[in-house]
Chains A and B, each alone.
Chain A
């Protein structure tokens, strides 16, 4: 991790000194342990605040949207795929972006660490190789990295950036080793009633904060469907019907576009496992269209194109 941090800083410094970009968008150490936060370095001095740790969760591609300046962005596999997606959708201009690619070893889930150490106040986390040492007043615990990785990182299919202008480390194994097809849709084997029950139970704690939507680089509509009033597609109350509608519609809006970056689950203050929706949809997209989002800027995402002879047998 330290090597990546150093290389990111070197690259950022060079880009800013040479005036190739107006700012470098990366991460800096968070104000509390087990967090890193998005950081915009605008001067060569500021690059020393950039870092790369196992807590660089979220998706920086989100913060590219709407910017009119020239930005260098630190991007691992999933984030680079979202940048491709944003280029496909006309939200980002390739020439205005310098991608500092980071082959990724997977991000950590602070909630998994907290669950292993109930009641303990974590003061420091050291990532060394395959292990993570978590310490605080009166305790120190060494945990294998694989035990505390974020769910989506364990089944990552593309850990190396798919586009980049600079790479800050040697390429890593492309996949994380988990079996995505096996875990992508845990409710597939359920009958409809059980599936509905599981879905409702999963989202029963949703507080409609919209962190999932706001963290997601796919969600950039000027007026989100939940804010439309004429007609009002979705109510604003905590009624299960309204909560369900929000999540079903949002998931379908992400169809054929979602890179399983996990920013939604990382952002959710209630720890809702909402990837159950999108990872099932993406599994279907892979099966029906043989398509993986964000791999190729010239590809046409299946939900955005049609042919007159597309199958219609489902239209009754």
Chain B
């Protein structure tokens, strides 16, 4: 795929052209906060930012999503039989482009693709439809912030997984790394990149990777014995100050747990999927009254074991974390995932090798 280049002066018209055909979303300012929102003109877009507080995952996995709804039978033929008719929700009407996705958030989409659409039986049509109709344009990080640790999480400030295009700010222009057929289509009208821009982008990448603060070592996590790590003695201390709220889960680009509820009023109802969190006792509560995650420690341990032990076991070594650092900034009691990973890796490093 050929790299292209887009001068900053041309970005406005490039976006306006896309807006004619597709919906565009990007980080924008709303009430003094940087949030993912709809772009109505290129002027809405923000180019100088580290990252949003909430990830863009709700572009494909909305916080509340109606999966199907039911109408009363007598709505249809005027008679009064009892019962309801299921109606599917409409698919996404218009194609979309997400602009300025950070590489960490894009890698999260790559990971979630494998979870939402594992095989024929677990193909999530709600996720898949939106993904198919969306082009992802990433913005490489030239200046990682102090809470970023993506290079420790199999990612990096200029990584390309999950993206269709990666924009690299090389001064007066963007290098446009074309990564997929969708990206090729979107960048079709742009001129080929000059060697100078290509070289400057390489320099930016090297600089960004070098300036990222060193993150936790994770070498021993993948091979560690799951049960030994599960029974490690440090979990009580890690969990001691946790409030079991849902902040970490909700700001995390890879967290994907949900709860499905039917909201019924007579014969009219809707089935809604809402974000949920393993931090909640209710999430694992059984109808029998038993709760496999009965204590706060169980739930806190679950979070970190899922991301750093179970997920790599099931997803060919991929961690369930992309190092975006949102939870580090937003946790109300400042539980730092990097410190927990360090505890886990140190413990795994010192575990006796099973004979």
Contact = CB atoms under 8 A, between A and B. Distances in A.
B338 A38 contact: no
A100 B145 CA distance: 37
A85 interface: no
Given A32-B328, A238-B63, A269-B247, A119 B274 contact: no
Contacts of A270: 33, 53
A215 B243 contact: yes
Interface stretch (A126-134, A147-155, A191-199, A205-213): A205-213
B339 to A, nearest CB: 6
Interface in A194-237: 205, 207-211, 213-215, 227, 235-237
B334 A32 contact: yes
Given A31-B334, A31-B339, A211 B247 contact: yes
A236 B329 contact: no
A39 interface: yes
A207 B250 contact: yes
A140 interface: no
Interface string B240-253: 11011111011100
Contacts of B259: 236
A269 B247 CA distance: 7
A236 B275 CA distance: 9
B332 A267 contact: yes
Contacts of A214: 243-245, 332
Contacts of A210: 245-246, 280
B286 to A, nearest CB: 14
Contacts of B336: 31-32
Nearest to A210: B245
Interface in B245-275: 245-247, 249-251, 259, 261, 263, 272, 274-275
Given A58-B332, A63-B241, A207-B250, A32 B63 contact: no
Q: Which of B63, B249, B259, B339 has the most chain A CB atoms inside 10 A of its CB? A: B63
Nearest to A226: B282
B335 interface: yes
Interface in A237-281: 237-239, 263, 266-267, 269-271
Q: Which of B32, B246, B334, B338 has the most chain A CB atoms inside 10 A of its CB? A: B334
Nearest to B326: A269
Interface string B219-250: 00000000000000000010011011111011
B247 A271 contact: no
A157 B32 CA distance: 30
Contact of B328 (A31, A62, A121, A211): A31
A30 B334 contact: yes
Interface string B13-33: 000000000000000000111
Nearest to A110: B329
B145 A209 contact: no
Interface residues of A, number: 37
Q: Which of B237, B247, B250, B338 has the most chain A CB atoms inside 10 A of its CB? A: B247
B119 interface: no
B240 A271 contact: no
Contacts of B330: 269
A58 to B, nearest CB: 6
A316 B179 CA distance: 69
A208 B251 CA distance: 12
Contact of B332 (A32, A236, A237, A266): A266
B333 interface: yes
B329 A227 contact: no
Interface string B131-147: 00000000000000111
Contacts of A62: 243
B338 A37 contact: no
A209 B147 contact: no
Contact of B274 (A115, A227, A236): A236
A259 B249 CA distance: 29
Interface string A10-38: 00000000000000000000111001111
Nearest to A62: B243
A40 B247 CA distance: 22
Nearest to A201: B31
A37 B63 contact: no
Contact of B245 (A115, A209, A236): A209
Closest 4 CB pairs of A and B: A267-B332, A214-B245, A38-B241, A37-B334
Given A237-B272, A270-B53, 6 more contacts: A32-B147, A210-B280, A214-B243, A214-B244, A236-B64, A267-B332
Interface of B: 31-33, 48, 53-54, 63-64, 145-147, 237, 240-241, 243-247, 249-251, 259, 261, 263, 272, 274-275, 277, 280, 282, 328-330, 332-336, 338-339
17 contacts: A32-B336, A35-B334, A38-B241, A39-B241, A207-B54, A208-B63, A208-B275, A209-B250, A211-B247, A214-B244, A235-B261, A236-B64, A236-B272, A267-B245, A267-B332, A269-B330, A271-B33
